[in-house]
Structure 1
Amino acid sequence: MNTGEGVFECGDVALQRGGTLRAARIVYKTFGTLSAKRDNVIVYPTSYSAHHTDIEWLVRPEHALDPGRYFIVIPDMFTNGLSSSPSNTPGSPGDFPEVTTCDNVMQQRRLLNELFGVERVKLVYGWSMGAQQAYHWAALFGEAVERIVVNCGSARTAPHNFVFLEGIRTTLQAAASPEQGLRAMGRIYAGWALSQTFYRRELWRGLGFKDLEDFLVRSWEAGFLRRNMHDLLAQLWTWQHSDISANDLFRGDLAMALASIKARVLLMPSATDLYFQTDDNRAELPHLKNATLVEIPSIWGHRAGNPRDNPEDAAFIDRQVAALLEA
């Protein structure tokens, strides 16, 4: 597989909410070959706490994001620990500025244009916070975006989603140590990211865990212990305040922002997602000019949208994305 990795130096970035991200950097990875016409580009943004290495499993010839056909770019979000983040920026972590989803995608578009000469993208595919970025690409860049996949995401973070994240934030801030906070975060997250039915049927057994405690420790605690607490808090703020209408173009009018989208949109929520709910997408659908809503019929909750260990949901997503790309 033809791949490449690099760093895009953004310079000093004036941020949407005020302040400046000094010497901002985006780490990225590419897969496949850019066509002569530069018309085969897929942007695949990262999700909460993820590095590109965590989501690149989907970029395979057997999946819809086929590097044999498309030039796929994974830009790491600001605050994810690779791109500019509290953990890798000089100064106190508490002084790191507030970065919005809009700030992220504005610099991602610069990356594509300045490094690769790309003006128009075939698809922006995103899961969770990646889906929020896909929505922003479509709302902010008009005809430069042909298609988006909003996989377990929404145009604006819903109030209940915000409250879920408040529980995570206060847990991290109240902990006696970062390690204690990250372990507690993992246990809270485990109850939200997967459905009640997942646990009732003990599907964690099929993932190689001997009992529920083993699953919580080796999957969820270990997953967050890989990350820096200050990075997670900064990225959580970005998630809580994600809103495609919160900018000078739309001035908080979500219906106007949705109606402005020219891209073909695939809304693909999970039937059992506990915080990015299908009802959020159902409310968005009437305002979109060219959109389809297809629910993933899964008991894997939010994780249905990132089914690395779940071939049935992966096959469902591949079919839907392939159809969108051929449309």
Structure 2
Amino acid sequence: MSGDARFGLGRKVTLPGPLRLDGGVLLSPVDIAYETYGALAPDGGNAVLVCHALTGDQHVASEHPRTGKPGWWSRMVGPGKPIDTDRFFVICANVLGSCMGSTGPASTNPATGRPWGMGFPVITIRDMVRAQALLLDHLGVARLHAVVGGSMGGMQALSWAATFPDRVTAAVVIASTARHSAQNIAFHEVGRQAVMADPRWNGGDYYAAGDPPTAGLAVARMAAHITYLSEAGLTAKFGRKLQAREAKTFGFDADFQVESYLRHQGISFVDRFDANSYLYITRAMDYFDLAEEHGGLLANAFRASKARFCVVSFDTDWLYPTADSRAIVHALNAAAAPTSFVELSSPFGHDAFLLENPELSRMIGGFLRAGER
């Protein structure tokens, strides 16, 4: 059974390509899984592209077909919500390299008839954006009213403004960065090594056996999930409370509630994500350095753009701290780009952009509506 059979669900289009990747490979054909909400205006001017994070997918505001859970940003996208589907035609595409229907390592390699596995070419954030541009061409969307994203989605929003400056009217960049730091890369490498150390990974060739490296992927998810939280948030939620027991067991079971929580996060993750996709997408994030792509100066990335920008950070986010957002804002200012910036307060760390936050909702809703005038 291929990875597509296990993970690929929902709307999907096969585009002939070829798509030229930053690594020099021509990829063809290209499958892109996506969802749309609302209706495209006759003049095509109301399209909003929402870009998902590392382990996200195209089901931004609709029930996830595997887990049955609501869309990952259903509090933000929908009728009357900040990204109002009564006003905007909202598009969310599964990124290139992922496992919910878009072409990735779990997809069939047309040259062999078998899953790509580790034969899939290494990709970049800019490659993901170019694939999304192919989808927008297919949908008849020449220009975006806005591109919106948090975390890796914010990287895509920045890359959209830099790569297709004539197609972006506004960009919302939340809890993100213009380059991955050494610490970010280090955490990703721990996760990748956990996956590759699992004997069932088998060099990435595990699809036919239907026996993926779930143990390694679960550990990778546990390590990454810690970076999405804050110390204050963990302390408030768990502290040193024991898990369903009155005393320590003096063993290696999950004595503490925080241990049980992380194990649950790891176990639930492997049911909806592909291990090879995790390797490829984390590598794409590690390669992301928007300044490097534009002569070493971040401001150069935005000099051709006429877009408005809204940049948001959270005070407890230590994965992509406020300093990263300020660096983006300084570059935007140097490029004379109209820019709004705010640091919001939240106890929830990096994951705050996914959680209920009235201030964030007001910021995004107001920023998008202002662009309609």
Fold-level similarity (TM above 0.5): yes
Residue from 274, 278, 282 that aligns with 1:236: 282
Matching residue of 2:349? 301
Aligned pairs for 1:1-327 (under 5 A) are 5-53=11-59, 54-57=71-74, 58-81=76-99, 82-90=101-109, 91=114, 92-113=116-137, 115-177=138-200, 178-202=213-237, 211-247=257-293, 250-288=294-332, 289-307=337-355, 311=356, 313=357, 315-327=358-370
Q: SS of 1:172's equivalent? A: helix
| Distance across 2 between alignment mates of 1:154 and 1:224 | 27
* Alpha-carbon offset, residue 10 of structure 1: 4.2
- Deviation, 1:130, is 0.8
- Give the Å deviation of 1:79: 1.3
Tell me the distance in 1 between the aligned counterparts of 2:323 and 2:117.
36
Q: Is the 8 A contact 1:296 1:304 kept in 2?
A: no
| Partner secondary structure for residue 78 of structure 2 | coil
**Whole-angstrom distance in 2 between the partners of 1:49 and 1:25:** 18
Whole-angstrom CA distance in 2 between matches of 1:294 and 1:203: 29
Give the deviation of 1:13 after TM superposition. 1.9
What is the match of residue 6 of structure 2?
none
Amino acid in the other structure paired with 2:314: S
Q: TM-score, normalised by structure 2?
A: 0.78
What does the per-residue CA deviation read over 1:290-316, in whole Å, with 9 as the maximum and x for residues that have no partner? 112211211111100111xxx2x2x22
The C-alpha deviation readout for 1:80-100, integer Å capped at 9, x for no partner, is: 102001011324411110111
For residues 219-261 of structure 1, the C-alpha deviation after alignment (integer angstroms, 9 at most, x for no partner) is 34312442111111011111111233444xx244323114443
Q: CA deviation at 1:28?
A: 1.0
Asked whether the equivalents of residues 53 and 153 of structure 2 are also in contact (C-alpha less than 8 Å), the reply is yes
Aligned-partner Cα distance in 2 for 1:71–1:181: 39
Structure 2's unaligned 5+ residue stretches are: 1-9, 60-70, 201-212, 245-256
Most deviating of 54-63 and 135-144: 54-63
User: Residue by residue, what CA displacement relative to the aligned partner does 1:17-73 show, whole Å, maximum 9, x if unpaired?
Assistant: 112223211111100000111111100122112222253523222421111110000
- Give the alignment's TM-score, normalised by structure 1: 0.88
Distance in 1, matches of 2:126 and 2:49, equals 15
Bigger radius of gyration: 2
Unmatched segments (≥5 aa) in structure 1: none
Percent sequence identity over matched residues?
Answer: 27
Secondary structure, counterpart of 1:42 in structure 2:
strand
CA shift, 1:215, in A, is: 2.0
Give the residue type in structure 2 aligned to 1:60. Answer: G
Q: Which amino acid aligns with 1:290?
A: P
Distance 1:65 1:187, change over 3 A: same
> Quick check: 1:8–1:111 contact (8 Å CA) kept in 2?
no
Size of the aligned set, in residue pairs, is 312
Query: Is the 8 Å Cα contact of residues 151 and 268 (structure 1) preserved in structure 2?
Result: yes
Q: Using the alignment, how far apart are the partners of 2:328 and 2:225 within structure 1?
A: 28
Change in CA separation of 1:267 and 1:40 when aligned onto 2, cut-off 3 Å: same
> What RMSD over aligned residues (CA atoms) do the two structures have, in Å?
2.1
- Distance in structure 2 (CA, Å) of the matches to 1:316 and 1:233: 34
The answer (yes or no) to whether the contact 1:50–1:80 under 8 Å persists in 2 is no
Give the Cα separation in 1 of the matches to 2:303 and 2:17.
33
What letter corresponds to residue 309 of structure 2 in structure 1? V
Distance 1:203 1:292 in 2: 36
297-306 vs 135-144, greater mean Cα deviation: 135-144
